[in-house]
A and B are shown apart, each in its own frame.
Chain A
Amino acid sequence: MIRKIGVILLGLVFLGSMAWTPVFDPVQAEVRKPTADADYARTKLSKGGIFKASYTSEPDAVPVNRLISWKLKVETPDGRAVKDAEITLSGDMPEHGHGLPTQPRVTKNNNDGTYVVEGIKFSMTGWWTMTFTIKANGKTDSVTFNLQLK
Chain B
Amino acid sequence: MFPFRAFAFGILLAAGVMLVMFCLSAEAATAEKNLKEIHAWSGEEISLLRSLSLFSLPALPKDPSNAYADNPRAIELGKKFFFDKRFSANGKVSCGTCHMPEVNFTDKLPLAMGMGQTTRRTMPLTGNAYNAWFFWDGRKDSLWSQAIGPIESSVEHGFTRSMCAHLIADKYKKEYEEIFGKLPRINNKSCPPKASPGTGNPAALKAWNAMKPEDRDNVNRIYANIGKAIAAFVAQILPRPAPFDLYVDALTKNDLEAADKFMNRDAVDGLRLFTGKAKCTSCHMGPLFTNSSFHNIGLATTDKGRAEGIDKVLADEFNCLGIYSDAKPDECLELRFIDTNRAKYVGAFKTPSLRNVADRPPYMHAGQFKTLSEVLVFYQRSASRELEHNELTNTELLKIEAFLKTLTGPLSFPK
Provide the residues of chain A in CB contact with B59, threshold 8 Å.
none
Q: Which of A99, A101, A103 has the most CB of B within 10 A?
A: A101
Chain A residue contacts of B340, Cβ below 8 A: 103
A95–B294 CA distance with the chains assembled, in angstroms: 17
Q: Determine whether the beta carbon of A102 is less than 8 Å from that of B339.
A: yes
Q: Is A119 in contact with B285, judged by CB distance below 8 angstroms?
A: no
Which stretch (A5-13, A38-46, A122-130) binds chain B? A122-130
> B291 contacts which chain A residues (CB < 8 A)?
64-65, 123-124
Give B residues with C-beta under 8 Å from A: 48, 281-283, 285-286, 291-295, 333-334, 336-341, 344, 385-386, 388
Contact A67 to B334, CB < 8 A, known contacts A96-B388, A124-B282, A126-B282: yes
Q: Is the CB of A125 within 8 A of B334?
A: no
Q: How far apart are B328's CB and chain A's nearest CB, in angstroms?
A: 15
Can you spell out 12 A-B residue pairs with CB atoms less than 8 angstroms apart? A64-B285, A64-B291, A65-B291, A67-B333, A96-B385, A98-B295, A102-B334, A103-B338, A124-B282, A124-B283, A124-B285, A124-B293
Shortest Cβ distance from B336 into A: residue: A119
Contacts of A121 on B, CB cut-off 8 Å?
Answer: 337
| Chain A 98-130 near chain B by CB (<8 Å), digits 1 or 0 | 111111110000000000001101011110000
Interface residues of A (CB under 8 A from B): 27, 64-65, 67, 95-105, 118-119, 121, 123-126, 150
Given contacts A101-B294, A126-B282, contact A96 B386 (CB under 8 A): yes
Inter-subunit contact B337/A125 (CB<8 Å): no
* Interface secondary structure of B, over-half rule: loop
Shortest beta-carbon distance, B130 to chain A, in Å? 10
Report whether A98 and B344 are in contact in the complex, using a CB–CB cutoff of 8 Å.
Answer: yes
Closest 5 CB pairs of A and B: A119-B337, A123-B293, A102-B337, A101-B293, A123-B291
Question: Known contacts A100-B339, A119-B337: does B282 contact A65 (CB below 8 Å)?
Answer: no
B285/A95 in contact, CB under 8 A: no
In the complex where A96-B386, A97-B385 touch, is A104 in contact with B337 (Cβ < 8 A)?
yes
B281 touches A125 (CB 8 A): yes
Q: In the bound complex, how far is the Cα of B319 from the Cα of A46, in angstroms?
A: 40
For B295, what are the chain A residues with a Cβ–Cβ distance below 8 Å? 98
Question: Least Cβ distance of B368 to chain A in Å?
Answer: 22
List the A side residues contacting B336 at CB < 8 Å. 118-119
- B123 CB to nearest A CB, Å: 19
A97 contact from B282, B293, B386, Cβ within 8 A = B386
**Cβ–Cβ < 8 Å partners of B282 in chain A:** 124-126
Nearest Cβ on chain A to B60's Cβ, whole angstroms: 15
Q: Which residues of B contact A118 (CB under 8 A)?
A: 333, 336-337
User: A65 and B337 in contact (CB under 8 A), knowing A96-B385, A126-B282, A150-B48?
Assistant: no
By a CB distance below 8 angstroms, the chain B residues around A101 are 293-294, 339
Specify which chain A residues have a CB less than 8 angstroms from the CB of B283 in the assembled complex.
123-124
A105: chain B residues at CB < 8 Å are 337
User: Is A103 within 8 A of B337, CB to CB?
Assistant: yes
B281 contacts across to A, CB distance below 8 A: 125
